[in-house]
Amino acid sequence: MISAEEEKFYQQWEKDRILPHYKRKPFLRGLSVGLALGILSMVITESGWYERANMVANIRGNEIWILLSIVVISVGIAFLYQQFSFEMNEQRYQELKHIKSKK
């Protein structure tokens, strides 16, 4: 049996799945996770917790390149999270569709 919440999701996703799946909300969630990881790595590097990594970063890296790489990685994580959330919703929709067709 399908609960009321699942039925509501089914009806909503049936309309939304034909639209382009580039939505802002999952993208922003992924972007915030990526930026949080980047900020965490910058804090660890700047705190001097791992001295060897700090020496290598100071020798090789320009801070602009490090910040640029954090932004690029964050956008990549955001895009992957957006695709992942779409696929999870699509899988849930297909499972509910299969359950409804068994009735």
Alpha-carbon span 74 to 80, nearest angstrom: 10
Cα–Cα distance for residue pair 91/17, rounded to 1 Å: 11
- All structural domains of the chain with their residue ranges: 23-102
Residue with tokens 């972007």: 31
pLDDT of the chain, 103 residues: tens digit per residue? 788 898 899 888 888 888 776 778 888 888 888 899 888 888 877 787 777 777 776 776 677 887 888 889 888 888 888 889 889 989 999 999 998 888 6
Single out the residue of 67, 72, 75, 65 nearest to residue 41, CA to CA. 67
Contact in structure between 33 and 84 (CB atoms under 8 Å): no
CB neighbours of residue 102 within 10 Å = 6
